[in-house]
């Protein structure tokens, strides 16, 4: 049920989506079989300037807290910077934790 939704000025290849999936699972401590990574190419302006940038949303049922969020931010930014050349200071990431009964899957909810 953890999900990373990314909007980025560059196409995110399958290999990078797999790396991001593993990073999210490991970072939150959830089985990767439940992780989803959604990536969309988008035009972006940041700091009033066009150029390479990315915005990510990490959502999960629990597992998110200050230390986890900081480490995940570091890992996601590093992967996007190293693989796509997007400067870390042009990447925003937000985190949202949901109650189990607010997340549907497989004809039901997790709670």
H helix runs in the chain, sequence order? 14-28, 66-84
d(CA 97, CA 85): 29
**Is the Cβ–Cβ distance between 10 and 43 less than 8 Å?**
no
Structure tokens at 108: 């039901």
Cα within 13 Å of Cα(72), Cβ side? 30
d(CA 8, CA 10): 5
Catalytic pick among 2, 31, 50, 87: 2
99 is catalytic: no
Active site residues: 2
């Amino acid at each position: 049920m953890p999900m990373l939704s990314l909007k980025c000025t560059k196409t995110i290849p399958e290999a990078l989506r797999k790396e991001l999936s593993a990073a999210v699972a490991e970072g939150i401590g959830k089985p990767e079989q439940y992780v989803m990574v959604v990536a969309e190419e988008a035009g972006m302006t940041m700091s009033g300037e066009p150029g390479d940038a990315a915005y990510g949303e990490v959502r999960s049922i629990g597992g998110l807290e200050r230390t986890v969020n900081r480490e995940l931010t570091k890992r996601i930014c590093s992967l996007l910077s190293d693989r796509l050349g997007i400067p870390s200071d042009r990447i925003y990431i937000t985190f949202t934790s949901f109650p189990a009964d607010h997340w549907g899957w497989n004809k039901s909810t997790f709670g």
